[in-house]
Chains A and B, each alone.
Chain A
Amino acid sequence: MKKKVLVIGAGIAGISAALELAKCDFYVYLLEKNASIGGWVSSFTCKAHDKCTKCSVCVAKRKIREVLVHPDISILTNSTLKQCHGEIGHFDVEIEQNPMHTDQELQEQKLAVHAIIPAIGFELFDVKQYGRLGYGRYRGVLTGFDLEKTMLENGNLHFPVNNTHAPSIAFIQCAGSRNDNNNYCSRVCCKYAMRFALLIKHLNPAVSVTIFFIDIQNAGKGFAPVYEECVGSIQFIRGIPVEVIENPGKRLEVRYENIAQGNVKRDVFDFIILSAGIVPRPGTWDLARKLGINLDEYGFFGTTGTFNSNDTNVKGIFTAGSCQGPKDIPDTIAHGIAAAERIVEVFAK
């Protein structure tokens, strides 16, 4: 009989782990609290302009389709973990499944599994916490995630052209990352901002695009050329605006220090895109408590060693994806596969 694994969270991390485990002859229960699987990536768009910018969204979506039809992966949507007892090789878990219709009752299900992979992903930083940046107050202030959704839903990012001036757009980086509460780099927002900047330029050549940054996180295989490509057409300004205010003409005025020039400046834009970062999901603590695993200093799932990013303090529980710390899609997929491989390795002994 096949050994069984419970994967909690059907984002790209959980999906990658499930596919890898199934390939290695395990049976997988893939638990998802929402009605549909895929996590954040399901609301993301292709960021190609006249050529592919390697954002990996299509790669992730291919995996989502693959997992849906896999015979050895049972997908349990609208479901969460209620309880968990036992140890490596025999965990007894209780699953709660919310009904599809209001007249049905909550269903409970008991499963016996050999190992568990928590892969519940991240939460987007709530930029409303920075009242000074005007999100929720001014219509022209958006987040990177708003761009993803709009582009996916409308197939276009159309910025209304005013007859008095060509629209101008500015990205503000590190919104909610690298501060005293979340003192780490979110690793994905510089890249999505640059990809969107190129895409916006491509779709609306008249628009001017500016990126306010502290330093550009340009890591990742093949990413350097994207930055090179931006340098010609996108304005990069080192310095983070302290405030966004709507001026009498309904345009958005920002005040910042232009660090390269060493002076305080004011500029006006029509749209401000906040590069909101990655923070732990509110449910991370609750799941950690049910599983008995530790959190790290930032509130993500903790692991046992500097060079081991999958093993938790409980034997048989391995974490995967951005619930362990910020990751882009390629790193998330690799991390999900690594968690699966750890299980294969442990049970091969």
Chain B
Amino acid sequence: MALLINEQDTKFKYDVAREAGGENITLCFACGLCTASCPVSEIDADYNPRKIIRMVLLGMRQRVLSSDFIWLCTQCYTCQAHCPQKVNFSDVMKALRSMAVREGYVTPAFMERIKEIDSFMQKLRHEMVMTIVDRKNKETDIRPEHIASDVLKKRSL
């Protein structure tokens, strides 16, 4: 992650801190508990909450607001529960998302699509869990992808 000085926007962190949810961003002391606990970092090694915070603090406005990262967060609040400094990273993500929309990095329709995906994922998970709970013999060897395709075939979500 090379940092170009002329790309630096020293105001960025203060703008984030003024946004609802972004208030505590400057408190981060880089302990890495957020990244170590994040379920997205677990499956995508490039997704790193601590680094995203560093990028904000370093003023990498354009790179952060145009990145895929801010949309990958599942808003699960795990990082927030572990953070010793109350940085409230899930809420910081909300702030970054609304800034990205407002500053034209994505369209409001894109934001809506993300919300639909999140809601769809919740429903899918719910149905999947119900499927294995319903099964009388509680088979344990059935793979998630098979359950998912069953659910998607049988029910309309």
Contact = CB atoms under 8 A, between A and B. Distances in A.
Interface of A: 132, 174, 178-180, 183, 214-215, 238-243, 255-259, 262-264
A257 B54 CA distance: 14
B144 to A, nearest CB: 22
B32 to A, nearest CB: 3
B32 A240 contact: yes
Contact of B36 (A174, A180, A238, A255): A255
Contact of B45 (A178, A180, A242, A264): A264
A178 B32 contact: no
B133 to A, nearest CB: 26
A131 to B, nearest CB: 12
Contact of A262 (B31, B37, B51): B51
9 contacts: A174-B31, A180-B85, A239-B32, A240-B32, A242-B36, A242-B37, A257-B50, A259-B32, A262-B51
B41 interface: yes
Given A179-B84, A262-B48, A214 B31 contact: yes
A183 B48 CA distance: 25
Given A242-B36, A264-B36, A259 B50 contact: yes
Contacts, number: 54
A240 B33 CA distance: 6
A255 B30 CA distance: 16
Main DSSP-derived SS at the A contact region: loop
Given A241-B36, A242-B37, A257-B35, A178 B84 contact: yes
B125 interface: no
B75 to A, nearest CB: 19
Contact of B30 (A132, A183, A242, A259): A259
Interface residues of B, number: 18
A240 B45 contact: no
Contacts of A264: 35-36, 41-42, 45
Contacts of A259: 30, 32, 50
Given A240-B31, A240-B36, A243-B36, 18 more contacts: A132-B82, A178-B29, A179-B84, A179-B85, A180-B86, A183-B85, A214-B29, A214-B30, A215-B29, A239-B31, A240-B33, A242-B37, A255-B37, A256-B32, A257-B32, A257-B36, A262-B51, A264-B36
Contact of A263 (B31, B45, B84, B86): B45
A131 B38 CA distance: 18
B73 to A, nearest CB: 16
A203 B40 CA distance: 42
Which of A132, A240, A257: most chain B Cβ within 10 A? A257
Contacts of B42: 264
A-B CB proximity, top 10 nearest? A257-B32, A179-B84, A242-B36, A239-B32, A257-B35, A242-B37, A257-B36, A240-B31, A180-B86, A214-B31
Nearest to B34: A257
A239 B42 CA distance: 16
A182 to B, nearest CB: 9
Contacts of A241: 36
A135 to B, nearest CB: 16
Contacts of B41: 257, 264
Given A178-B29, A262-B51, A264-B42, A242 B82 contact: yes
A242 B50 contact: no
